[in-house]
Amino acid sequence: MNMVSMKDISAVCGVSIATVSKALNNHKDIGEDTKEHIRQVAKELGYLPNSAAKTLKTNRTYNLGVLFSDEGRSGLTHDYFSHVLDSFKSTAEEKGYDITFINSCKTRKGRMSYLEHSRYRGFDGVMIACVDFDDPEVGELVRSDIPVVTIDHLFNNRCTIVSDNVKGMSDLVHYVYGMGHRKIAYIHGADSAVTQSRLSSFYKTCEELKIMVPDGYIREAPYRSTLGTYAETLKLLDMKDPPTCILYPDDFSSFGGINAINSRGLKIPDDISIAGYDGIRIARHFEPQLTTIIQDTKRLGEEAALKLISLIENPKSTITEQIVVTGEIFEGRSVARLN
């Protein structure tokens, strides 16, 4: 019975499980001295690689690729994504995997495609988030034989982890309605799967609650764009029959709305109510505290890592599924109670 694991060796040597695995599999990207030391410790501890497990694991690099670009096209805002990534990274490291970002520099001549880069790096699997999902190169990577998990975007026959945008938006509208609001405007983000889910849910919930939504109440500004929300907020405030509450694409972009409201000498929530989406920490520190939906970024990152590693280690028995992670309403103080 082989009781010594790579985890034990990593604890003794003070290196990651991924490094131990590389040393024992004679990988080139760690120094000879480190390799020798790890092997010596393994020998002393009586580590015996399980030959059955070994055949399954040939050519593993214990390295996961993360494809993420700065386009701002997605409904994932950066403060939100950095928390998802943090959780993904720590979960992957616990399981003995390293993380490398996939280069998405589009301008260099002779650059590799995402798939070529992934093969070149020998990634065991790739997590995709915040990219232009219509990019043919993303499609090529998703259709390849490399295990892939996506966040907040549904690909046919691929595992995906999504935040429950439908329930989140419905909860938000119900809360605002419960506070007595009937004139609710929504400045939504640029077109993406996330935006479509939230917008449909906004309309459906308003319909169920018999709230009339004039066309002028629905506006668009890019995610994280304070300039966009500033301009759209002024248009809403200038309407003949302005809304009593404005919903923003995300917490960060709501700062633009707050500036616009302040520029008109109006007070939140006394003169007008607002709500954000995401639950970024900074929004909890200004007055009045922003009403929002707090997304469970820890669980999103964790699920993505566990699912990806399961696809790598148990390809036959891992089910391709959509894992939905729900958020929760944070009431804050930016929505006034109307009589």
Q: Where in the chain is the domain with CATH 3.40.50.2300?
A: 63-163+297-325, 165-295
**What is the structure's pLDDT at 295?**
92
**What is the structure's pLDDT at 104?**
60
Distances (CA, A) of 153 to 81, 184, 228: 14, 28, 24
DSSP 8-class letter at 242: -
**What is the structure's pLDDT at 220?**
97
Cα-only R_g, the chain? 24
Contact 269, 288 (CB under 8 A): yes
60 Rama sector, left if φ>0, alpha if ψ -120 to 50, beta otherwise: beta
Q: Give average pLDDT by consecutive 10-residue segment, the chain, 339 residues.
A: 75 90 84 89 76 54 87 61 92 94 66 88 92 85 94 87 95 98 96 91 98 97 93 98 97 95 97 94 84 95 97 92 95 95
**What is the structure's pLDDT at 70?**
59
The size of the chain, in residues, is: 339
**What is the structure's pLDDT at 110?**
65
The CATH architecture annotation of domain 63-163+297-325 reads: 3-Layer(aba) Sandwich (3.40)
**What is the structure's pLDDT at 52?**
41
SS3 of residue 174 by DSSP: helix
**What is the structure's pLDDT at 259?**
97
Rounded to 5°, the CA angle 56-59-63 comes to 105
How far is the C-alpha of 298 from the C-alpha of 308, rounded, in Å? 16
> The domain 165-295: what is its CATH number?
3.40.50.2300
Which helix (H) or strand (E) segment holds residue 150: the answer is strand 148-151
Is the pTM here over 0.85, yes or no?
A: no
Contact 132, 111 (CB under 8 A): no
Q: Where in the chain is the domain with CATH 1.10.260.40?
A: 6-56
How far is the C-alpha of 328 from the C-alpha of 271, rounded, in Å? 26
Residues paired with 292 in a beta bridge? 330
Which tokens hold the place of 122?
């020998």
At the top level of CATH, the class of 6-56 is mainly alpha
